[in-house]
């Protein structure tokens, strides 16, 4: 077996593990962020709604801003929790058939030559999904910020 191929294979496997941990950690960060946003909304919503009902029309606009932030937060949270990272693995049987067809079933170089591109394709798919989920998480944070700023603005305007 060639030395570079022997080093690339475990590296490709570690890359997949790191990417899958990245997605798992992202989902794990969602609960504390939503809890913090919910606590802030709970503290500000009572005074803000009371102030908006007796305040100037600008307080209604600020309350609408808070509602938009809440909608973005809830929509992003649902998207993040329901997102599916492709669980399809590598077609090992197809690789075995290809190796058998070449007469290289016992050739480790041929095995690594077939497996490394398959691992690369899988890593690219997981990386794309993780990037998308990180963008959704950023939208959630922005939604929480807009919601809290809108509620605080209602209290200030009124």
Q: What is the pLDDT of residues 92-150, one digit of tens each?
A: 677 777 777 777 667 777 777 777 787 787 788 888 888 888 899 899 999 999 988 88
* Residue 77 near residue 34, CB atoms below 8 Å: yes
What is d(CA 139, CA 76) in angstroms, rounded to the nearest whole number? Answer: 7
Q: What is the pTM of this model?
A: 0.71
State the pLDDT at residue 12: 75
Angle value at C-alpha 26, between 41 and 8, nearest 5 degrees: 170
Whole-angstrom Cα Rg for the chain: 25
Select the more confidently predicted residue: 61 or 68.
Answer: 68
Separation between Cα atoms, residue 54 and residue 97, nearest integer Å:
75
pLDDT at position 139, please?
A: 92
Most confident of 2-11, 53-62, 130-139: 130-139
Q: What is the pLDDT of residue 142?
A: 92
Task: Enumerate residues 6+ apart whose C-beta is below 8 A from 105.
Answer: 96, 99
Best CA proximity match to 48, nearest among 155, 148, 145, 144 = 155
């Amino acid at each position: 077996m060639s030395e570079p191929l022997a080093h690339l294979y475990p590296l490709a496997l570690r890359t997949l593990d790191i990417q899958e941990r990245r997605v798992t950690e992202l989902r794990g960060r969602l609960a504390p962020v939503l809890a913090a946003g919910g606590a802030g909304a709970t503290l500000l919503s009572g005074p803000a709604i009371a102030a908006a009902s007796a305040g100037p029309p600008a307080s209604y606009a600020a309350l609408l801003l808070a509602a938009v932030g809440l909608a973005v937060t809830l929509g992003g949270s649902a998207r993040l929790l329901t997102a599916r990272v492709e669980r399809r693995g590598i077609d090992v049987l197809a690789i075995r058939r290809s190796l058998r067809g070449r007469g290289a079933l016992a050739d480790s170089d041929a095995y690594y030559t077939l497996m490394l591109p398959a691992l690369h394709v899988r890593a690219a798919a997981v990386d794309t999904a993780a990037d998308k989920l990180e963008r959704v998480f950023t939208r959630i944070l922005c939604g929480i910020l807009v919601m809290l700023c809108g509620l605080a603005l209602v209290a200030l305007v009124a």
